[in-house]
Amino acid sequence: MDDLGFVQRCINGDKASWDKFLDRYSRLIYSYIHNVIEAKSYTFAREHIPDIFQSLFYSLIKDDFHKLKSYQGRNGCSLASWLRQVTINFTIDYLRKLRPMVSIDETDDQGFALKDVLASGSPLAPEAINLEDAIEQLKRCILKLNNEERYFLELHINRGVRLEDLKHIFNVSRGAVDMQKSRIIAKLKECFHLAGFFGL
Amino acid sequence: MQDKFEELLRIVLKRHGTKRTSEEISHPSEEKLVCFIEGRLDREDTSGLISHLLICHKCNEAIALDMHIKDKYIFEVPSELRLKIEEMIPAKEDSSLLEVYLKVKGEFLEVINTSADVLLGQEVIPASVLRTRKIANFKDEVMLLKAFRDMRVDLKVENKGKNIFNITVKARYKASQSPVKDLRINLIKDEIEIESRLVDADGTVVFEHVLLGKYIIETAFLKEHVASILLDIKAC
C-alpha cells in the first residue's frame, strides 16, 4: 500500500492503520525532536520533549486531521520524509516560543558578534576599521551573484551544510558542487579585488 | 588565505543574511521543502523556492537542520508516552475505506490491488482469489463491490480510451436491495472537489471524462460520512 492510501486509512480512523503509524513513525518523530534540540544546543528544552511530542501528534489530528490531510505524496515525497520536515518545523516553532526563557548567556544563533572575530588570535583582528569597509564591499559583491549562488553560500558558509549534502539540492555531482564553490569564491574575490581589497 | 576569506564571508552572511521570519510571509509546504532537499523539484519550482529561502530565516533554518541531523541518533519512545498518543487518536475498528489501484493497458484495465470484491462475469470474487487465479486484466471495464455498514456500493470504472474513464458509483441497501436515497457523492483530487452529486432514483452517480490520477470518492449523507474510496488509475 502506498503512503497516500495509508494516510487515508488513518484519516478514516482505522485503528489497525494507526497502530502501524505509531509503530513506523513515532520513533522517527521522537528522535528528530531530540536531534533538533541537540543541534541547536537547547539543552534546557530536553524536559519539554514529551510535550513537544504530544503536541505534534495533536497538531496532526486536530480539526478533522487537517494537517495530516495536507500530505499528498507529490513528486515522490515519502510520508517518512514529510513527517521528518513537519517535526523539524514544529520543534523549531515550539522552541522559538520558549526563547524568552533562554538565559542571556546562551548563544544567539542569529547575532554574530564582530568582537568574536576581532578577539586576539583571530586572523582578522588587527584591521578593525578596514574590516567594516571590507564587509560592506563583500556584501555588495555577494549581491551581484545570482540567487542560486547566493543560496549556495547561505547553506554552505553560513549554515555549515556540507558540500556532500548540497549535491542533492542542486542536483549535481559532488565534483560539480566543489567546482561551483570554487567558481563562486573566485567571482567574489575578483569583485573584492577590483574594489581595491587585497590580502584575503 | 582561503580560510580568512571564508571567515569574512561568514561574517557578512550572518550580518546581512536571511532576516527573521515575518508572520505575513506565506511559507512553502513541508512537501515542497522535502522535494527541494531531495532534488525532486523542477527548475522553475526550485528557482521560486530559492527566492523565498533567500529572505526567510525560518525555512532556511528548517532546511539546514534537516541536513545536519539526518541519520543522527535514534531514541526509543517511552511506553507511557506512546500510550498517551494512542488515547489521543480517534481511531475505530471498522474501516470505511475502499482502496482501488488500477493500471491501464491499452483497452484493458488491470487490477493491481484492492480490498473490494470483483465482478467476474456473473460471479463475485474477492480480489485475493482473483490473484490466486492469476486474473487481473479486464477489457473495457471493471466492476468492484464493497459493503459499508448496511449498504453495498458498486464501483464501475469504464475505460473510454485515450486515458479517459467513466466512473459509476451505485449504492443499495444490503437487506432490501433498494437504492440508497439522499446520498451525496463527491469526486476529489488533490484536496479539491471536482464534482459533487446526489444519487439519482437508482442510487447512482456517474462521473464522466475522468482522467488518470489519484482520486478520493467521498460518500456521505447530509450529516454523516459513510465511506471513502481511494481510486488510483495509472498508465502502463
Could you give the ipTM of this predicted complex? 0.81
Q: Which of A2-16, A33-47, B173-187 is predicted with the least confidence, judged by mean pLDDT?
A: A2-16
Does A118 or B199 have the greater pLDDT score? B199
Q: Which residues of chain A lie closer than 8 angstroms to B16, CB-CB?
A: 139, 142
Q: Do B39 and A171 touch (CB under 8 A)?
A: yes
The neighbour count for residue B102, using CB atoms within 10 Å, is 23
Of B5, B34, B51, the CB nearest to A189: B5
Which residue shows C-alpha cell 531531495? B38
CA neighbours closer than 13 Å in the CB half-sphere of residue A77: 24
Q: Do B58 and A162 touch (CB under 8 A)?
A: no
Q: Which three cell numbers stand for residue B189?
A: 483530487
Q: Which residues of chain A lie closer than 8 angstroms to B224, CB-CB?
A: none
CA dist B27 → A127, A146, B65 (Å): 41, 22, 17
Q: Which three cell numbers stand for residue B214?
A: 489519484
A24 in contact with B, Cβ within 8 Å: no
Task: Based on DSSP, count helices (H) and strands (E) in chain A, helices before strands.
Answer: 9, 0
Residue-wise pLDDT tens digits, B62-81: 999 998 887 678 888 998 89
Q: Residue A1 has what pLDDT?
A: 57
Report the SS3 class of residue B24.
coil
Q: How distant is the Cα of B112 from the closest Cα of chain A, in angstroms?
A: 11
Does A113 or B28 have the greater pLDDT score? B28
Which residue shows C-alpha cell 494537517? A67
A80 in contact with B, Cβ within 8 Å: no
Q: Residue A119 has what pLDDT?
A: 45
Nearest CA in chain B to A172: B39
CA dist A179 → A84, A149, A174, B147 (Å): 31, 12, 9, 61
**Residue A180 DSSP one-character state:** H
**Residue B179 DSSP one-character state:** B
CA Rg, chain B, in Å? 25
User: Is pLDDT above 50 for A24?
Assistant: yes
**Quick one: B121 exposed, middle or buried, by C-beta within 10 A (0-12, 13-18, 19+)?**
exposed
Q: Residue A103 has what pLDDT?
A: 40
Q: Which residues of chain A lie closer than 8 angstroms to B56, CB-CB?
A: none
Q: Which three cell numbers stand for residue B171?
A: 449504492
Of A27, A124, A147, the CB nearest to B54: A147
Q: Do A85 and B78 touch (CB under 8 A)?
A: no
Burial B70-95 (b: 16+ CB within 10 A, else e): eeeeeeebeeebbeebeeebebeeeb
Does A86 or A109 have the greater pLDDT score? A86
**Quick one: A30 exposed, middle or buried, by C-beta within 10 A (0-12, 13-18, 19+)?**
buried
Q: How distant is the Cα of A146 from the closest Cα of chain B, in angstroms?
A: 10
CA dist A81 → A28, B17, B48 (Å): 10, 27, 21
Nearest CA in chain A to B23: A93
Which residue shows C-alpha cell 485503528? A15
Residues of chain B with pLDDT under 70: 1-2, 18-24, 71, 91-95, 128, 131-132
Report the SS3 class of residue B231.
strand
Q: Residue A133 has what pLDDT?
A: 86
User: Is pLDDT above 50 for A118?
Assistant: no
Residue-wise pLDDT tens digits, A65-84: 999 999 999 888 999 999 99
